[in-house]
Structure 1
Amino acid sequence: MDGKNLILFMSDEHTRSALGCYGSEIVQTPNLDKLAARGTRFATAYSNSPLCVPSRASLSTGRYVHEIRCWDNGHPWDGTEPGWSHRLRETGHKTVSIGKLHFRHVDDDNGFDEEILPMHVRFGVGDLIGMLRKNKTTYPSTKTSAKQGQEVVSGPAMMAKAAGGGDSNHIDYDRRITAAALDWINSQKERNADRPWMLFVSFVSPHFPLIAPQEFYDLYPHDKIPMPKQYGQDERPNHPTVVANREIWNYDDYFDEAKVRRARAGYYGLCTFLDHNIGLVLNALEESGQADDTRIVYASDHGDHLGDRGIWSCSTLYEESIGVPLIIAGADIPQGKVINEPVSLVDLYPTIVDALGEKIPANGITYPGKSLFDVANGLPVKRTVFSEYHAGGSITGSFMIREGKWKYIYHVGFAPQLFDLDADPDEANDLGESAEHAEIRAKCEALLREIVDPERANQQAFDDQEATVERHGGVEAVIRRGHYPEHAMDRVLGVEN
């Protein structure tokens, strides 16, 4: 493929059902809808781990979480495993990030020529409480402020209490990211470079707190907001891993119907705010005269349950948590095309280097991803799409593959789950213990084991997490520390979290 400039837009926690082009009749995303109309949309794209740090580490390196051992929000990528940013730098391309990265530290070699307004994990450590998995620890919803000595609401209690219209550090941050992106694009229009550039613009919306700017929040009156699917106590799935997730996060103590609708309205408002910011950047690109020389990719790091099945945020392998929007547009990309073949975020590594006219490095590493440009143009790219989860809310390692219409989830030590997504897109009918589906489960497990030894990976995750907890004072010290916001907003905005 001929090299062109590339902008990779990334959002945080944008479930793929919350866009007009993915079928939402509620959420207003006109700019992303236009992008999909002039490009290719991937209908079944997946995160490789439904949590910020492991997903972004996997996306950056093009490798699976169990290979790089970035299991959770306390095991961030530190740049030692090479990523696409390193590859572009070594091949002479200007590579710049603006916004959330969620790597270990700004002082690490993350491969970028410049990091503008970077957000990394808090203090280079991140969130440790999600590592307390063996004893099914219920995460506290308060923490003691180190400076004030006061109890501060956090976790599920904070999510329910804060939701609504207004302003927040996250909103201010995304506005600053947008302004910086506009400035950077305008700075390039007079630049005569012999190689195309790559710009990574990474927003934090629609990640909680579910506070949306009032003008966007008001687009979603509460009486028009549907309640979550499988929300009633008698509707919720009863697989032990899902029951444990609900008990660990304990959302039901903080949400009633009014708060559910308010929180979902806040999320939808943030989706439209995100879309607005992306539209501003795309307009600046057009006005700068660089649009014809620039390809666009839009993706999110993972999704959000929004109360479905009694769960909020991410942390499971259900579609609303692990499914992400993924859109590409620009030169040599089919317009108005929808691809139903499953893809995942590890495909972004080969896609990014392909977009700039480069090749995957011959460094002895096997990269499982395939260029999305090849997929969009109909080239054969047979492979198994895979994801895994080893972090907060989970009592064991969970591993997912897609095989045609089948979605198979292997939980170490527990019964598997199996869903026919053609007949059951809401995953309401678990066939994981159905006698008549034993053959397809065996086939799926064999495909899974070609990718990973789940028992070995599960044990490695627990061992690494136990060692990390001990380095930080042990279980009680981590519990006292509480569930901190996992990103260092104080470093970005000059305020205390």
Structure 2
Amino acid sequence: MLRLFLLLLLFAQSGLLFAEEPAKVRNVLFIVSDDLKASVLGCYGDPLCKTPNIDELAARSMVFDKTYCQGLVCGPSRQSFMFSRYVGASGSGPSMAEHFKNNGWYTARVGKIYHMRVPGDIIAGTNGVDHAASWTERFNAPGREAHTPGLYSLLNQNIFTTEEENRQSTGDPHRPFVTVESEGDGTDQPDYKAATKAIELMREHKDNPFFLAVGFVRPHYPMVAPPNYFEPYPIDKITAPQTLPGDHDDIPKAGLARSTSQKSGISKYPDNVKRMWAGYYAAVTFMDVQVGRVLGELDRLGLRDNTVVVFTSDHGYHLGEHEFWLKSNVHEEVTHVPLIVFTPGRKSGRAVTFAELVDIYPTVSELAGLSIPSDIVGHSLVPAIADPTAILRDIAYSGGGKQRSLRNDQWSYMNYGKDGEELYDMQEDPGQFTNLAKNSRYAEVLNGFRERLSKIQ
């Protein structure tokens, strides 16, 4: 009998006998950053960018290292993950937030969740392309954006000024290359206002189930933050992305970014490429502080033990890699995004499975004890939250229209229909410098990807 007891005790301590008992989920806090590439977060390996609050969340959570967006710009991506449908697909089911609302939960949007024009809708304080049926209430977080008083830099034109006239803003062609070292302490900024409102709503609704979606606009351009957020990132600490002569020669025209260093003019000012990185880092760090404010209030209210927290971004961003800028293509810098899921009562870890942003909807539904609608394409990630070695996807899909891609552990495949293909061996060539699509040695690999892509609607 004693031997049996000791054996049972050993199994229990090892986790082999009793399943981990998750806490009851009463709330979901869904945090979305804008234009945030996974690789700049400390918890995803960046040694310079300061993101202590997101890193602390990651240390408590399941981190999905191989997460890929489906849409390549803000609007399509956000529509895709909110409805768990691939870009361009039709459907009639409720959105993620609407699903919770229909099941009696209070749902609120603060800031940008569905598409908003940044800076246009932020300056105007308008709803953008919102989905009103998703929300019990919705709140915008306006700001002056490029018109914020402070040191304005238009880096592709090498302009630096504190004058408030003639700044590139809504609809202007050079607005993606604007940074502002703002006057004041940052309390006038949209993300600060969004965090403040989120804190207010958690206090107000702490006693009843809520689905609170908090959308931060940074690091989306213009990259605005007080000067102390720029100080940790002097350009002598920043290494510009590697570029190679003739890098574009083996990329189909359809795979080239719309904005390049040469087209934008920033190639004339090499140090300003580093200043763009400094502005991006500063905006990320400012956003991270706002995440910390929201999570800190979650703890103060005693809600951490019954709240699922999801942190992600709509897509990544080019900052001079391959001399590309912005987004709207299927290269790694755009498609690879962070996904961090904190689940009360579950152990932290790093999941090895591939994941897609469309998987968020079924995941939070299952964690909250709600049914999963039948017309969504995402897969629940709950098995990987319970066991980080579980493989739920061996490949991830991104894209829409003529730009489509598949990514697995070894290969990154990009297809532009009749306009060409790209294939990269990500184990040998993680920077995606050598396109193997025209190399006959890889015909079988290409055929396999073409067949798999043909089955995705």
Q: Do structure 1's residue 443 and structure 2's residue 448 form an aligned pair?
A: yes
Q: Deviations over 1:193-238 (max 9, x none)?
A: 3xx32111110010011233211111111111111232x5544464
Corresponding residue for residue 74 of structure 1: none
List aligned pairs for 1:55-94, cutoff 5 A: 55-68=77-90, 82-94=94-106
Name the CA shift for 1:250/1:165 in 2 (closer, same or farther; >3 Å): same
Give the AA of the match of 2:179.
A
Shift of 1:33: 0.9
TM-score by length of structure 2 reads 0.80
Corresponding residue for residue 434 of structure 1: 439
Among 342, 346, 355, the alignment partner of 1:343 is 355
Corresponding residue for residue 132 of structure 2: 109
Shift of 1:241: 2.1
Q: Do structure 1's residue 323 and structure 2's residue 336 form an aligned pair?
A: yes
Among 185, 188, 195, the alignment partner of 1:178 is 195
Corresponding residue for residue 42 of structure 1: 64
Inter-partner Cα distance in structure 1 for 2:422 and 2:189:
41
> How many matched pairs?
398
Answer whether contact 1:174 1:204 (CA < 8 A) is retained: yes
Shift of 1:63: 0.2
Q: Deviations over 1:437-490 (max 9, x none)?
A: 1101101111111113xxxxxxxxxxxxxxxxxxxxxxxxxxxxxxxxxxxxxx
Structure ID, larger Rg = 2
Name the CA shift for 1:354/1:20 in 2 (closer, same or farther; >3 Å): same
Name the CA shift for 1:15/1:234 in 2 (closer, same or farther; >3 Å): same
Corresponding residue for residue 308 of structure 1: 321
Q: Do structure 1's residue 376 and structure 2's residue 385 form an aligned pair?
A: yes
Give the AA of the match of 2:82.
S
Answer whether contact 1:39 1:330 (CA < 8 A) is retained: yes
TM-score by length of structure 1 reads 0.74
Cα RMSD for the two superposed structures: 2.8
Answer whether contact 2:266 2:273 (CA < 8 A) is retained: no
Q: Deviations over 1:323-358 (max 9, x none)?
A: 1111111324331x1123211100011012122210
Give the AA of the match of 1:6.
V
Q: Deviations over 1:281-321 (max 9, x none)?
A: 11111111111111211000011111111111111111111
Inter-partner Cα distance in structure 2 for 1:221 and 1:159:
20
Inter-partner Cα distance in structure 2 for 1:219 and 1:446:
48
Answer whether contact 2:260 2:325 (CA < 8 A) is retained: no
Corresponding residue for residue 286 of structure 1: 299
Name the CA shift for 1:374/1:249 in 2 (closer, same or farther; >3 Å): farther
Answer whether contact 1:164 1:265 (CA < 8 A) is retained: no
Q: Deviations over 1:238-291 (max 9, x none)?
A: 412244634699223676212211111000011111111100111111111111
Shift of 1:413: 1.4
Inter-partner Cα distance in structure 2 for 1:170 and 1:423:
46
Answer whether contact 1:7 1:297 (CA < 8 A) is retained: yes
Corresponding residue for residue 163 of structure 1: 179
Shift of 1:16: 0.5
Answer whether contact 1:49 1:389 (CA < 8 A) is retained: yes
SS of residue paired to 2:346: coil
Q: Hey, which of these two has a bigger chunk of strand by percent?
A: 2
Name the CA shift for 1:413/1:330 in 2 (closer, same or farther; >3 Å): same
Name the CA shift for 1:361/1:157 in 2 (closer, same or farther; >3 Å): closer
Give the AA of the match of 1:97.
R
Among 46, 52, 56, the alignment partner of 1:30 is 52
Name the CA shift for 1:255/1:374 in 2 (closer, same or farther; >3 Å): farther
SS of residue paired to 1:315: coil
Shift of 1:11: 0.2
State the percentage of identical aligned residues.
Answer: 28
Answer whether contact 1:3 1:358 (CA < 8 A) is retained: no
Q: Deviations over 1:124-147 (max 9, x none)?
A: xxxxxxxxxxxxxxxxx9xxxxxx
Inter-partner Cα distance in structure 1 for 2:404 and 2:229:
37
Give the AA of the match of 1:163.
T
Among 205, 211, 217, the alignment partner of 1:198 is 211
Answer whether contact 2:354 2:391 (CA < 8 A) is retained: no
Among 352, 366, 374, the alignment partner of 1:354 is 366
Structure 1, unmatched stretches of 5+, are: 70-79, 120-140, 142-149, 391-396, 453-497
Answer whether contact 1:98 1:200 (CA < 8 A) is retained: yes
Give the AA of the match of 2:190.
Y
Name the CA shift for 1:383/1:84 in 2 (closer, same or farther; >3 Å): farther
SS of residue paired to 1:205: strand
Name the CA shift for 1:332/1:359 in 2 (closer, same or farther; >3 Å): farther
Inter-partner Cα distance in structure 2 for 1:293 and 1:309:
44
Corresponding residue for residue 11 of structure 2: none
Answer whether contact 1:294 1:330 (CA < 8 A) is retained: yes
Structure 2, unmatched stretches of 5+, are: 1-21, 116-126, 143-156, 158-165
